[in-house]
Structures are given as C-alpha cells and as structure tokens.
C-alpha cells in the first residue's frame, strides 16, 4: 500500500498511535509557524489543537512525509488566517511578550521578526527556520513565487532598517 495520494478514512478513525506520531513529528513546527503569525502563545496553542482536530476529522494521512508536512503547514496557515478574521481576535488585546533563542541577540532578532506583518514573518520563518524554497512557500501560502520573493526582500529590508536604527543590539 504505497500511495502518495491522500487516504480518506471516513469509516475508520485514525488510530491513536498514528496521531501521536504525527503530533511528535509536526507539533513543534506548526506551533512555531503559528506563533510567528499570531504572536501569542495561548492563541498558538489553540490553533495547534485546531490543526490536529482538522486532521482527525478529515482523516488526512499521507504515505509521503513531505506531503503530510505540507498539509499540516497549509492547515496551520488556514487556521491562523481564520484566527485573524475572527470576531474574538478583534475584541482582544495581546498581553504577552514572546522570546525565542538561546542568546540575547537571537531573542531580540526573533522579536523583530515577530514585529513584521504576518505574511512577512511567516515567509521569513518558513524560508530561514524551516528551510523551504520560495516555490514551496508560494504553494503553501497560495501565492506566486515572485510575491514570496517580494515579501522576503521587504522583510529583510525592514529588519536591516530596524538594526541600523538601533532597535537591535548586536
């Protein structure tokens, strides 16, 4: 049973051990991607759960791990987009400070990446932290490759500007 296409398991639910394996393999990546977009650990936790609930409901299991990873990234982007358009988000105020990285420079740089608009920070995250190509990011974010290149260029320019203005201590 070596298929690279989607297996729908409507009548047979996904076994717990497979869900646990998928969670172990993809949860950290999904969480980081969503955190870059939402800038909130609580909302990122909620969206992470929503992505795995969608996996359970849809029965989406792929034999090819790259396709499975792409499905999770696409689901995470879709869920975070729903978060941005929700009435709940419009009525709440973020109250937390997120820090990542081992050194102060890493934490400060990550803070600057988080300050970028969501599409820029997601493109930066997928390109530099997850190692995806521009074409793969374009597919995941339903955009053109040239648009993703523009996002990356603008994000880098903005980060350079922040660093030159002294908003970043190197």
**How many residues in total does the chain contain?**
170
Extents of the domains making up the chain: 16-90, 104-164
CATH fold label, 16-90? Rna Polymerase Sigma Factor; Chain: A (1.10.1740)
Q: What is the pLDDT of residue 49?
A: 93
Handedness of CA 149, 166, 40, 22 (dihedral sign): positive
The answer to whether residues 120 and 155 touch, using CB atoms and an 8 Å cutoff, is yes
Q: What is the pLDDT of residue 62?
A: 80
The answer to whether residues 101 and 129 touch, using CB atoms and an 8 Å cutoff, is no
Q: What is the pLDDT of residue 6?
A: 42
Q: What is the pLDDT of residue 31?
A: 93
Which segments of the chain are extended strands (E)? none
CATH node for 104-164: 1.10.10.10
Q: What is the DSSP letter of 4?
A: -
Q: What is the pLDDT of residue 48?
A: 94
pTM as predicted: 0.58
Per-residue pLDDT of the chain (170 residues; tens, 9 = 90+): 444 334 444 445 678 888 889 999 999 999 999 988 887 888 899 999 999 988 888 877 788 888 889 899 999 999 988 887 776 655 554 545 455 555 667 777 777 887 888 889 889 988 887 888 999 999 888 899 999 999 999 999 998 888 888 755 54
For residue 44, which of 122, 137, 128, 151 has the smallest C-alpha distance?
A: 122
SS3 78: helix
Buried b (16+ CB within 10 A) or exposed e, 158-170: bbeebeeeeeeee
């Amino acid at each position: 049973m070596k298929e690279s296409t989607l297996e729908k398991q409507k009548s047979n639910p996904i076994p717990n051990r497979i869900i646990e394996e998928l969670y172990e393999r993809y949860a950290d990546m999904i969480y980081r991607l969503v955190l870059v977009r939402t800038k909130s650990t609580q909302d990122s936790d909620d969206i992470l759960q929503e992505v795995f609930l969608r996996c359970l409901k849809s029965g989406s299991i792929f034999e090819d791990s790259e396709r499975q990873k792409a499905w999770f990234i696409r689901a995470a982007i879709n869920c975070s987009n729903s978060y941005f358009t929700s009435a709940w988000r419009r009525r709440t105020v973020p109250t937390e400070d997120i820090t990542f990285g081992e050194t102060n420079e890493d934490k400060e740089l990550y803070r600057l990446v988080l300050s970028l608009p969501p599409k820029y920070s997601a493109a930066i995250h997928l390109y530099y932290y997850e190692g995806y190509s521009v074409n793969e990011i374009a597919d995941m974010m339903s955009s053109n490759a040239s648009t993703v290149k523009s996002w990356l260029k603008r994000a880098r320019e903005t980060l350079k500007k922040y660093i030159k203005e002294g908003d970043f201590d190197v």
